[in-house]
A and B are shown apart, each in its own frame.
Chain A
Amino acid sequence: MLTAVKGKGRHTSRTMSMRNQLRVCLLSIQYNIMREMINKVTFLTNICFMILNNASFLVQWVILFQLKDEIGGYTLKEIMLLWGLCASSYGLSHILFARVFSLPELIINGKLDAYLVLPKNVLLGVMTSSTNTSAIGDLAYGLIVASLSGFQVKRMLLFLLFTVTGAVMITAFALLLGSLSFWLVRMELFGDQMVNVVISFATYPDGIFKGAVKTLLYFMIPTGMMVYQPVHVMTDFDLKGLLVVIGYAGALSVAAVTVFYRGLRRYSSGNLMGARV
């Protein structure tokens, strides 16, 4: 009886702690955005120009579809969906967890110290400590393009779900590569390059790639599960395909978190003095 009460108490305290942690993360993101909003003109210009910037890619596809009606099994509508999903996943990831993309810099310069002394989860503290303003434009662009490609409630709900899984995948991939900086040097450049590779492939239909490259895109780098498979599920619903995407996002996240904490054991602080304002 006493054990059961103790167990229940521990469970309640863990739930409270998780809720507390989530609150801190949300507040951190909120303050990041508020900080960026100090100069409203710059804030809005960044968002609007990013939407325009992404929209310019449509010109490329309009021209390509003048040459052929379908490219790699995709029509313009599916390409818009592909682009929308890629932009919104990238955007969501850079709104919530922008710092992950500069993790190697924190590790190399010994700047993780500031997060290690906080009485909260280190990884979540690092991840939510920065926001990229222009990423709001990416997210908005993704949602606009997805709506324009043929609005359906079911498809839109799937799009939102896949935006979350896509953001989880790209964040986990960047975290995994960034965490390798605990062991290797120059990972910041390699990590950046690999994230660019994911995005470069994600904006072209998978039908144009053949053989080993296609396998690579689905299993080695997360492009396939981040955008290709979700677009296939959205155009032709398949529950198995949906579960595979969710499972892949979960597995990649677990792998990335494990590598980060393994690496953190090797972390040695720098003697750099600095102030966090």
Chain B
Amino acid sequence: MILNKLGIQRSLKDNQLAENSWVEPIGYNLRKGRSVFMRKYVVIYRSVLMENLQYIGNIALGFVSYFIFIFVFINLWDYLYAEPGMRIAGYTKEQMIWYVMITEMIWFGSRSEAVVGQVTADIRGGNIAYLMNKPYHYTLYILARHTGEWCIRIPMYALFAAAIGLTMVGEIEGFGLLALLPSAISIVLGITINGIFKLCISLVSFWIEDVHPFQWMYDKLILIVGTVFPIEIFPAAMRPFMKLTPIYTVCYGPAKLVVDFHMEQYPEILSAQLLYLGVGTSLMFFLYGKGVKKLYVNGG
């Protein structure tokens, strides 16, 4: 009886909702659809974030490698900047060390199991056959996981970098709070672009069994050419080409904004990042679309 009553009440409520939605403007429904579309990725992101919060100790252990890397570079630049006030490629010693600290912070903080290990394992192991049928787009699901991972790591590394920088190097000359917001936006875009490109490489697993060698090459391109030196240190003839590589949008752009902020350079870096984001996302969808068509289900 009670159940029946509740059932009636529920159906009445549903009818009311249906009636309301009938009279709602189309824009409202689109917004609602978009928010439902986004909500599932927000839930995935939040669950990964909560999961990673349990492993803060493990993340903090990664500080050892980061510290050693920075320590080596502090010693190296100390040696190369023999005279006080010396500038190399227009950078002071402090700016050069902070540049490495920021790029390495991005590098260490955005290391992701989702975009590399998980995608490769899913494709090679066949798990992708189950995941592709879920009510989400697989690549966006991975990106939501990736975001959940770096959202914990990056703030931790940023705090650690600031602590090392302020105690061992000193303040960045001319750094103001005005530079903080544009730099933060640029860093977030840089990490996302990097994640998308690494995901694209992982998606090549649809065709090639082991994509680790390609990941190494991409990592080395970013790590050796991008994180260690600013573009200005390379010969003038190479600089225009380097601006076309992911180095400019992933490492150089964000770090340059932190160590030597110029408002006039910001639109150039931001537009390059947005362009890269668009191209990377299209490539990601293209590779995934082509890849799933090649999928064979062997059973098991």
Contacts and interface: CB of A to CB of B under 8 A. Distances in A.
Most buried by B among A52, A53, A210: A53
Interface stretch (A5-13, A174-182, A197-205, A266-274): A197-205
Nearest to A45: B213
Contact of B210 (A46, A67, A68, A194): A46
A186 interface: yes
Contact of B233 (A45, A63, A197, A201): A63
Contacts of A71: 76, 79-80
B7 to A, nearest CB: 49
A59 B75 CA distance: 20
Contacts of B80: 64, 67-68, 71
Taking chain A's interface residues, is the majority helix, strand, or loop, or is none over half, making it mixed? helix
A42 B210 contact: yes
Most buried by A among B80, B220, B225: B220
A37 to B, nearest CB: 13
Given A71-B79, A208-B76, A189 B213 contact: no
Interface residues of B, number: 31
Nearest to A42: B210
B221 interface: yes
A39 B58 contact: no
Contacts of B2: none
A115 B80 CA distance: 51
A49 B212 CA distance: 9
B57 interface: yes
A51 to B, nearest CB: 10
A209 B68 CA distance: 12
A60 interface: yes
A193 B210 contact: no
A219 interface: no
B61 A193 contact: yes
B72 A193 contact: no
Interface string B196-231: 000000000000111011101100110011001100
B37 interface: no
B65 A193 contact: yes
Taking chain B's interface residues, is the majority helix, strand, or loop, or is none over half, making it mixed? helix
B217 A200 contact: no
B96 to A, nearest CB: 11
A78 B166 CA distance: 34
Contacts of B234: 63
A197 B68 contact: yes
A41 B209 CA distance: 9
B79 A45 contact: no
Interface in B223-281: 224-225, 228-229, 233-234
Nearest to B64: A193
A276 B195 CA distance: 35
A50 interface: yes
B65 A196 contact: yes
B68 A45 contact: no
A261 interface: no
B214 A49 contact: yes
In the A-B complex, list the 5 residue pairs whose CB atoms are closest, starting with the nearest: A49-B213, A193-B64, A56-B220, A42-B210, A53-B216
Given A53-B217, A207-B79, 13 more contacts: A39-B210, A53-B213, A57-B220, A59-B225, A63-B229, A64-B76, A71-B79, A186-B61, A193-B65, A197-B64, A197-B68, A200-B68, A201-B68
7 contacts: A45-B213, A46-B210, A49-B216, A56-B217, A197-B65, A201-B68, A208-B75
Interface of A: 39, 41-42, 45-46, 48-50, 52-53, 56-57, 59-60, 63-64, 67-68, 71-72, 134, 186, 189-190, 193-194, 196-197, 200-201, 204, 207-210, 213
